[in-house]
Amino acid sequence: MSSDFEIDRDAATLLHETPDAVVYADAQGLIRFWNTGAERIFGHLATEALGQSLDIVIPQAQRQRHWDGYHKTMATGTTRYGAGDLLSVPAVRKDGSRISIEFTVTPFHDAAGNMIGIAAIMRDVTRRFEEMKALRQRASNASAA
């Protein structure tokens, strides 16, 4: 079977260069992979993000809830967000501005089945979120008139 796609080289290019953010964090929640999409969306260069806590993208008000779920997932080896469930949450950029993101997660296990980290593929949906919010507001104002 012949293929033009070279797994090692092309998969690495795909992973690093995709416009969506691809972020991998270890069991402690420290960032171990940060692609160019993550740089674009969040404003942190990979050199700034690697080794840092996921807190650099989690708004202060959501951190406790995030970490409660993250630690439970690491302890149990399961996440309630599996099978491609699309999650929508607020996030924060390097400059402090808030954005809306949608993402999926992929848990990583060691050979014994223990959780060792989680990867997330994230997309900035702030514009769409704001447009939907404005449409809902206009619909609400129209029905109230």
Between CA 41 and CA 23 the distance in angstroms is 11
pLDDT tens per residue across span 55-109: 999 999 999 999 999 999 899 887 777 667 788 899 999 999 999 999 999 889 9
CATH of the domain at 72: 3.30.450.20
Q: Minimum mean pLDDT among 13-22, 33-42, 133-142: which range? A: 133-142
| Contact present, 105 and 120 (Cβ < 8 Å) | yes
The secondary element (H helix, E strand) that includes residue 129 is helix 126-144
Q: How many domains does the chain have?
A: 1
Asked whether residue 1 is domain-assigned, the answer is no
Asked whether residue 2 is domain-assigned, the answer is no
Domain extent for 70:
7-144
In the chain, the percentage of residues whose pLDDT exceeds 70 is 94
pLDDT of 134 over the 80 cut: no
Among 65, 75, 76, 104, which residue's Cα sits nearest to residue 88?
A: 104
The CA–CA distances, whole Å, from 115 to 50, 54, 57, 72, 73 equal 20, 17, 22, 10, 8
